[in-house]
Amino acid sequence: MRIIVKAKTKAKIAKVERVSQPSLDLNIKKEVNQKMEEPVIYKVSVKEAPIQGKANEAVIKALAEYFDVAPSRIQLISGQTSKQKIFDLS
């Protein structure tokens, strides 16, 4: 399953929120889900700063806890240096 994450770094509280009814452009829809269904978007707040991939690691850890899966089952597909990221959960 692929999900879109909007990451917020240097937050006071680490949390994961599901965002309902996202509005995205067509290119992101095609990249995330070939059936052209509206993809699921999550807003993830982490305490770490976006330095040397620490925030990405914190986002993966937060998603792993939220979905109750091992962090090794979550892979960053795109958005290594962006606030908007696409993850694959296997």
Measured distance CA(48)–CA(39) in Å, rounded? 26
| Count: domains in the chain | 1
pLDDT of 67 reads 95
Output the domain CATH number for residue 21. 3.30.1200.10
Q: Which domain holds residue 63?
A: 2-89
pTM of the predicted model as reported, rounded to 2 decimal places = 0.80
User: 3-class secondary structure for 32-57?
Assistant: HCCCCCCCCEEEEECCCCCCCCHHHH
Tens of pLDDT along 5-57? 999 999 999 999 998 655 555 455 555 555 545 678 999 999 999 999 999 99
Bridge-based pairing of strands 2-8 and 74-78 is unpaired
